[in-house]
């Protein structure tokens, strides 16, 4: 029989051994874990601790300026004063904002937005209340500061457009970063709360250059993220300035000259280099309104306005060119040998083709005319007959050589291409065969034919410079870099054909029977050549023509014809080309031609390019600059 005392002793000893072993294992595991935490993982925890202790913030750089060809700022940055509120200091944010509204203008809807924004953020994060305070308002807030707990004043930079709408369509505008832009652009600068980026025009197309590079601020913070002290500051790199080919005084004059029209646009080019000296579209808009996000009501007003103030009509407005297209019809026929300087057609006031009758603008007809007087008097029947013999595909081929029917490639976004039709185009786009009557209509710039004011200016520049393919451009290379140029390629048009067309354009303005003979330049030393155009926007029925309703001057604005005029000067040594389109202006000779004359006279007076630069053989230049705009 076993001794009970001995059995208990063995059990106890075994339990002590097991317990000791378990403790040894536990302390061993604990030691290994401590070694891992304190030795192996120490650098990682130190980094995490450092990141918790140091808050890094991106600093917004100054946005680059946009200047004209003389260095005059067109888009700049100006200091602004902001008022912000800190929730933990204000305690009752709504109450403090009500008190602030008695000192400065602060509508109730804006106060509600600030309260909601403050609740969504940490209590110590400042929330912007207004960022457009005047100096007087800053002084008022400072005086009442003891009664406005949690209110802070600070300053910053905001985009400023000193000429407001006069350059709006070219410059574009900036605005707050959207969620879609954050997802599509990995630049960390976009996460800076007050950053504004380009949305349209040069601001949008050259945003990468203008934006600059972010700086860095390191702040020491406590456990809840409150800032304690500044540790390090690395300033950002300001954006590069962008210089345009525009001349500010000429642009401003052009805008004022067009401003009285309900809708209009104008483009002025250097015929030898393609530099855009002025580009105007009216009505315009205030680009400053977009800086902090345009109101929904204002956006709807602009969007729904039938005059389309947000559209740059110079590059995105497409119009039937009307009689300004007749130079293309004449050149196509001259180059094919269908016309020469002595070829005449008789105009009785209409052309009969089968059962269709195509009318001339002069109901009594022009009689017999050759090409020079056909252009000078803008006889429709002369060009009906010419176009019928040339054919639509030959018309299209000549038009494309002069820049019609395709985007010019100017360094601005959202350019439209217009349309120069062909037989193949109609079959592909509409599924129908081309009809002979359609060629007749297209020959005078109606029907399917459409172009932008910029394309019409390019066409005119190429006619003026002797038939060389200059291309329009707007943004100069960065400072310190020369403008890269090569001689512009020839369009391959015979000098005689060009001379006849240019003589016809000269007679339009200076001839006894020219359609713009009342619009000679005021200068005694310079003469201008041009071409009127009046394009229909609504088909005239036989009944309306018989009743004379198509000549009524009291028609609704949207039913009136577009008025166009293109010109170049000086005639003997061309330097500048201009195109003007007045939407529903009624008559090219009465409405558009006087504007174009004034713009050309102003251009010659200012002479923005000075002595023109050409290649060694005196040919016009093709300028190749980086095309940043999409």
Q: What is the pLDDT of residue 54?
A: 65
Q: Residue 132 is part of a domain; what is its CATH number?
A: 3.90.1310.10
- Whether residue 78 sits in one domain with residue 168: yes
Q: What is the pLDDT of residue 522?
A: 84
Q: Domain end: 152, 186, 213, which one?
A: 213
Calculated CA dihedral for residues 537, 540, 541, 545, nearest 10 degrees? 160
Q: Is residue 593 part of a domain?
A: yes
What are 37's two structure tokens?
A: 């935490």
What are 325's two structure tokens?
A: 């297209």
- Whether residue 436 sits in one domain with residue 559: yes
State which H helix or E strand residue 309 sits in.
Answer: none
Q: Residue 585 is part of a domain; what is its CATH number?
A: 3.40.710.10
Calculated CA dihedral for residues 23, 28, 34, 40, nearest 10 degrees? -170
- Whether residue 609 sits in one domain with residue 491: yes
Q: Is residue 54 part of a domain?
A: no
What are 435's two structure tokens?
A: 């009809």
Nearest to 561 by CA among 530, 595, 542, 535: 535
**Residue from 265, 273, 323, 579 carrying the catalytic annotation:** 323
Helix (H, G, I), strand (E, B), or coil: what is residue 242?
A: strand
Q: Spell out, as residue ranges, where the chain has pLDDT lower than 50.
A: 45-51, 545, 547, 549, 613-616, 630
Q: Is residue 295 part of a domain?
A: no
CA 272 – CA 615 distance, rounded (Å): 10
Q: Is residue 630 part of a domain?
A: no
The DSSP bridge pattern shows strands 66-67 and 242-243 to be parallel
Q: Is residue 52 part of a domain?
A: no
Which residue pairs from 69-73 have beta carbons closer than 8 angstroms and sit at least 24 positions apart in sequence?
69/243, 69/244, 69/245, 69/246, 69/247, 69/476, 69/608, 70/247, 70/248, 71/243, 72/248, 73/162
Q: Is residue 29 part of a domain?
A: no
Q: Is residue 7 part of a domain?
A: no
Q: Are 614 and 621 in contact (CB under 8 A)?
A: yes
Cis peptide before 570 (omega within 30 of 0): yes
Cis peptide before 56 (omega within 30 of 0): no
- Whether residue 485 sits in one domain with residue 336: yes
In the chain, DSSP finds a helix count (H) and a strand count (E) of: 23, 21
Q: Is residue 429 part of a domain?
A: yes
- Whether residue 274 sits in one domain with residue 190: no
CA angle 541, 545, 550 (to 5 degrees): 90
Calculated CA dihedral for residues 209, 291, 283, 404, nearest 10 degrees? 30
Total tally of structural domains belonging to the chain: 2
- The residue to which tokens 């451009």 are assigned: 473
- Whether residue 170 sits in one domain with residue 96: yes
Active site residue 284: no
Q: How far is CA 23 from CA 11, 12, 37, 373, 537, in A?
A: 18, 16, 21, 115, 98
- Whether residue 614 sits in one domain with residue 499: yes
Domain that holds residue 114: 62-213
Q: What is the pTM for the complete model shown?
A: 0.83
């Amino acid at each position: 029989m076993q001794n009970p005392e001995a059995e208990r002793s063995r059990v106890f000893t075994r339990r002590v051994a097991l317990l000791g072993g378990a403790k040894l294992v536990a302390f061993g595991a604990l030691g290994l874990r401590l070694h891992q935490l304190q030795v192996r993982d120490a650098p990682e925890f130190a980094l995490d601790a450092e990141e918790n202790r140091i808050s890094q913030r991106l600093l917004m750089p100054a946005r680059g300026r946009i200047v004209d060809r003389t260095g005059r700022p067109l888009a700049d940055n100006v200091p602004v004063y902001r008022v912000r509120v800190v929730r933990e200091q204000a305690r009752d944010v709504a109450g403090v904002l009500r008190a602030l509204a008695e000192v400065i203008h602060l509508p109730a809807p804006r106060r509600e937005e600030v309260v909601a924004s403050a609740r969504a953020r940490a209590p110590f994060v400042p929330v912007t209340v207004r960022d457009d305070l005047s100096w007087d308002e800053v002084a008022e807030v400072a005086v009442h500061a003891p009664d406005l707990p949690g209110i802070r004043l600070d300053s910053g930079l905001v985009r400023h457009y000193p000429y407001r709408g006069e350059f709006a369509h070219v410059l574009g505008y900036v605005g707050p970063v959207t969620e879609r832009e954050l997802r599509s652009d990995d630049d960390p600068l976009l996460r800076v709360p007050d950053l504004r980026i380009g949305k349209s025009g040069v601001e949008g197309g050259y945003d990468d250059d203008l934006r600059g590079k972010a700086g860095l601020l390191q702040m020491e913070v406590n456990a809840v993220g409150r800032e304690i002290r500044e540790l390090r500051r690395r300033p950002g790199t300001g954006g590069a300035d962008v210089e345009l080919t525009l001349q500010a005084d000429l642009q401003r004059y052009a805008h004022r000259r067009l401003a009285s029209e309900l809708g209009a646009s104008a483009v002025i080019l250097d015929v030898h280099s393609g530099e855009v000296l002025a580009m105007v579209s009216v009505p315009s808009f205030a680009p400053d309104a977009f800086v902090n996000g345009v109101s929904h009501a204002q956006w709807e007003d602009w969007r729904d306005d039938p005059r389309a103030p947000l559209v740059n009509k110079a590059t995105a407005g497409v119009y039937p060119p009307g009689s300004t297209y007749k130079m293309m019809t004449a050149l196509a026929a001259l180059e094919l040998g269908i016309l020469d300087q002595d070829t005449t057609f008789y105009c009785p006031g209409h052309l009969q083709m089968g059962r269709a009758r195509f009318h001339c603008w002069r109901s009594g007809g022009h009689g017999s005319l050759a090409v020079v007087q056909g252009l000078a008097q803008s006889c429709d029947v002369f060009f009906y007959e010419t176009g019928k013999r040339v054919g639509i595909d030959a018309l299209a081929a000549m038009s494309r050589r002069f820049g019609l029917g395709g985007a010019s490639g100017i360094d601005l976004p959202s350019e439209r291409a217009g349309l120069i039709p062909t037989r193949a185009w109609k079959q592909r786009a509409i599924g129908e065969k081309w009809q002979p009557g359609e060629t007749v209509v297209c020959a005078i710039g109606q029907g399917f034919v459409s172009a932008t004011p910029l394309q019409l200016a390019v066409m005119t520049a190429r006619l003026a410079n002797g038939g060389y393919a200059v291309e329009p451009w707007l943004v100069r290379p960065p400072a310190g870099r020369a403008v890269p140029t090569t001689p512009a390629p020839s369009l391959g048009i015979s000098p005689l054909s060009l001379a006849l067309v240019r003589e016809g354009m000269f007679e339009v303005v200076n001839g006894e029977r020219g359609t713009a003979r009342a619009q000679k330049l005021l200068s005694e030393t310079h003469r201008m050549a041009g071409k009127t155009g009046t394009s229909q926007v609504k088909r005239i029925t036989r009944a309306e023509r018989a009743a004379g309703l198509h000549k009524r001057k009291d028609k609704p604005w949207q039913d009136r014809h577009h008025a166009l005029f293109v010109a170049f000067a000086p005639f003997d040594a061309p330097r500048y080309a201009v195109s003007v389109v007045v939407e529903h202006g009624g008559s090219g000779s009465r409405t558009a031609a006087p504007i174009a004359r004034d713009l050309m006279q102003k251009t010659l007076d200012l002479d923005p390019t000075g002595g023109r630069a050409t290649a060694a053989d005196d040919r016009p230049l093709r300028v190749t600059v980086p095309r940043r705009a999409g």
